[in-house]
Structure 1
Amino acid sequence: MKNSIKLLGIFIFTLVCSITNAQIKMNIEFDTPYGENETVGNYITIDGAKIYYEEYGKGEPLLLIHGNNGSIKSMGNQIDYFKTKYRVIIADNRGHGKSELKTDSLTYVQITRDWEAIVNHLKLDSINIIGWSDGGIIGLKMGISGKSKIKKTVAMGANLRPDSTAVNSWAVNYALKSKKMIELKIQEHDTTQNWNSRKQRLGLLGDQPNIPIRDLSKIKAKVLIMAGDEDIIRTKHSLEIYENIPKAQLCIMPGETHFTPASNPELFNEIANKFLSEPFKRPDSNFTKWKK
């Protein structure tokens, strides 16, 4: 059982800063105390929960949305890079970091609503988004919702379904195994961790999202779908998402994983910045349509 708990602590889906892997080394040390920066930190109460967020830089608003079990610090590499180019806004998602949970059923719908409330609270006329993992899902859902004016979205390692048609089967199986272990700890009334909170975060991964493919056609923003070629998300699913968004580009990074925003931030940030800063193009290779 002790080994199971240890494995849960480095659960492969998560973006926990303490992840260690012989093949993946993440940069998680920063000069600025991201996530604990009292000089720029604020709270907003949304649907009964206090949601913590921080702001950096000036200019066009850019939302950074972290992944499951992560926090503001998880995207410190992106804050460092983009805060000199944009007004960066990043929050601890509901039930993560310093943000309260205040629900017995955490959903992507609720987290999307939280982010839309932040946009309204800050009176942002239009935004750009970089979302990683769960954050990519939220970025897509905000585009589908249409309640915020979104110019461009970068969705890294996002999925529409929680099953093995979208996510590699080894990850699905691990989620099921972890779910059983957490249920056992709750039944045992174990108090070594907040197992209910873990259960809800795991529920996001194991049971959600459930986004109909047809809903992607509602997205008006320009979208860059990104993934590593050895991602948790199946490559064919990233392709499926790309092919069903009206204005989209696709980037499968060679030799990269689900954790590239922290393990190779130079590459990830350069690609994301190019997409955000340059005019959107989706050229056609069909030379038979070219004028002669």
Structure 2
Amino acid sequence: MRKKLFTYLVSLVLMQCAFGQSVLPVSTSGNKLYGNNAKAGNYADFRGFKMYYEIYGTGKPLLFIHGNGGSISDFKNQIPYFAKNYKVILADSRAQGKSVDTSDSLSYEMMADDFNALLDKIGVDSCYVIGWSDGGINGLLLATRHPEKVKKLAITGANLWPDTTALEPELFQWMVAANDSLGKVPQIPAVKAQKKLLNLMVYNPQITPADLKMVKCPALVIGGDHDVILRKHTMIIADAVPQSYLWILPDSGHSTLVVYKEMFNQVVGDFFKKPYRKLKGMAQLD
């Protein structure tokens, strides 16, 4: 049984490698340890758990939201760049990183409302948002459920629903099988926590293109040309958001903001600075 349990947990790590999230190492910049910085970090005690967050820089607020199984440290390549001009707000999502949540339930809607509560807690009435993977889903939901909070939204590797029309088929089928397998092993805390996150991806989100008509802010929708989120699905998201740009990066998988870190930072930074306009049916940056 222990051997089987070990195999399942290793498989989950490999799955997270495919999504390019939690396997990114925590790194330092000077004396800063992103995701574990006592000087920049704090906890917001609300909504039944304690949400860990860090703030860097000054200026207009910019919220980063990480992906499934990830943490603040996943944005090590973005924090120094954006903290030069923005008040960068990062948090470990519910049940991930240092934001421990032992409850059985977990949903994207719940996490989007957590971020809304965090912004209220620190006195931010609206902000720019960058979301990666599950963080992109949370960003879309934050923009639909709390539209006044989001000035502009940049998302990469997000999906609206979980099936083989949205995700790479072999990966999705493996996720379903892994989720079923985890249900058959003793539910020790480590397994229970992993199953909660995997179960979230297998059955959620459940967002329709019509729902995205509620996104009132300009959005930059990003994907890799061989992302685990299918290109055609990323295009559905871009088509559904009323004020959107689509950016597909060549020779990139799910980790666009790692593979193209300098270009990603520059293009997203320009998107935040420049006004949105449409010309002859095409979205353009002035």
TM-score by length of 1: 0.89
Partner of 2:190: 194
Q: Please name the residue that 1:8 is paired with.
A: 12
Query: Does the Cα contact within 8 Å between 1:229 and 1:256 map onto a contact in 2?
Result: yes
1:231 aligns with 2:261: no
1:233 to partner: Cα distance? 0.6
How far the C-alpha of 1:283 sits from its partner, in A, is 2.2
Task: Give the structure 1 partner of residue 23 of structure 2.
Answer: 17
Q: Which residue of 2 aligns with 1:62?
A: 62
Equivalent residue, structure 2, for 1:131 = 131
List aligned pairs for 1:1-292, cutoff 5 A.
1=4, 2-11=6-15, 12-13=18-19, 15-18=21-24, 29-31=27-29, 32-146=32-146, 148-186=148-186, 189=187, 191=188, 194-284=190-280
- 2: distance between equivalents of 1:102 and 1:5? 19
Q: Give the secondary-structure state (helix, strand or coil) at the position aligned to 2:207.
A: coil
Partner letter of residue 13 of structure 1?
Answer: F
8 A contact 1:142–1:148 mirrored in 2: no
Tell me by how many angstroms 1:125 deviates. Answer: 2.3
Distance 2:257 2:26 in 1: 11
How far apart are residue 269 of structure 1 and its match?
1.3
Q: Secondary structure at the match of 2:28?
A: coil
Q: Using the alignment, how far apart are the partners of 2:154 and 2:220 within structure 1?
A: 5
Gaps of 5+ in 2: none
**Matched letter for residue 165 of structure 2:** T
1:215 deviates by: 0.8
Any idea what the Cα deviations from partners look like across 1:148-172, whole Å, max 9, x if unmatched? 4311000111110011111111121
CA–CA separation in structure 2 for the residues paired with 1:83 and 1:278: 18
Deviates more, 1:101-110 or 1:1-10: 1-10
TM-score, normalised to structure 2, is: 0.91
List, as ranges, runs of 4+ consecutive aligned residues in structure 1 with deviation greater than 3 Å: 1-5
User: Cα distance, 1:276 vs. partner?
Assistant: 1.1
1:6 maps to amino acid: V
CA RMSD after TM alignment: 1.7
CA–CA separation in structure 1 for the residues paired with 2:244 and 2:49: 34
Alpha carbons 1:162, 1:207 under 8 Å: kept: yes
**Identity over aligned residues, as a percent?**
35
Instruction: State the Cα distance separating 1:46 from its structure 2 match.
Output: 2.0
| 1:214-259 Cα distance to aligned partner (Å, 9 max, x none) | 1111110110000000101111111111111111100001111111
**What are the superposed Cα offsets for residues 58-98 of structure 1, whole Å, 9 maximum, x if unpaired?**
00000000000000001111112111110000000000111
| Contact kept in structure 2, 1:132 and 1:155, CA below 8 Å | yes
